[in-house]
């Protein structure tokens, strides 16, 4: 019996130590997220925010009703934003300076609630949240007009959404006209 107690205490001590050394942390939101993420040039860290897809069905994307049915609660978004601002190590930790953005936008079939598809995106500076919002609207129109498949739009925006800024600004009318 005495050996069993010693073994149990030892295991608890080892388990506690192992949890502190893991590179991932559990949160109250039920996810594992890297402790250190890095955003550069308006793009999220691909390891922390690789993107997540809800659907690739054009009918659902273009005629499936309002996106609010896929959006998480504002309390979930607030908690996640604060947590991810810390994980991304932003010097500015004021949540109002960021949009908790979907990497693959809900309006092009992105998952609304998966933390792997959300990250704190700055409102100011080059390649900010407002620029990306315009890109998302343009991609939605391109999908619904048949100029691009959902898979193309989702992959493109997850890879580097900035590639579409020139289309949004009208420098090129449509992706289907690009060689």
* pLDDT tens string 122-166: 999 999 999 999 999 999 999 999 999 999 999 999 999 999 999
Q: How far apart are CA 165 and CA 162, in angstroms?
A: 5
Q: Domain range spanning residue 133?
A: 39-177
Q: How far apart are CA 58 and CA 123, in angstroms?
A: 30
Q: What is the pLDDT of residue 170?
A: 83
Q: What is the pLDDT of residue 174?
A: 55
The mean per-residue pLDDT over the stretch 59-79 comes to: 95
CB atoms within 10 A of CB 81: 20
Domain membership of residue 1 (yes or no) is no
Domain membership of residue 152 (yes or no) is yes
Assess whether pLDDT exceeds 70 at residue 93: yes
> Which tens digit of pLDDT belongs to each residue from 110-123?
999 999 999 999 99
**Cβ-count burial 144-157 (b if 16+ within 10 Å, e if not):** beebbebeebbebb
- The tokens for 77 are 């978004």
The tally of domains found in the chain comes to 1
């Amino acid at each position: 019996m005495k050996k069993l107690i010693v073994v149990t205490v030892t295991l608890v001590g080892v388990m506690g130590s192992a949890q502190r050394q893991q590179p991932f942390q559990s949160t109250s939101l039920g996810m594992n997220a890297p402790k250190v993420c890095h955003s550069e040039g308006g793009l999220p860290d691909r390891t922390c925010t690789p993107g997540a897809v809800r659907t690739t069905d054009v009918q659902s994307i273009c005629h499936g009703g309002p996106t609010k049915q896929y959006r998480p609660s504002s309390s979930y978004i607030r908690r996640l934003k604060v947590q991810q601002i810390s994980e991304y190590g932003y010097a500015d930790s004021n949540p109002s300076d960021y949009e908790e953005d979907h990497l693959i936008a809900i309006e092009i079939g992105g998952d609304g609630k998966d933390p792997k598809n959300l990250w704190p995106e700055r409102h100011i500076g080059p390649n900010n949240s407002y620029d990306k919002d315009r890109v998302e609207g343009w991609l939605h129109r391109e999908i619904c007009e048949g100029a691009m498949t959902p898979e193309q739009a989702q992959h493109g925006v997850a890879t580097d959404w900035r590639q579409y800024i020139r289309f949004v600004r009208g420098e090129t009318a449509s992706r289907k006209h690009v060689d």
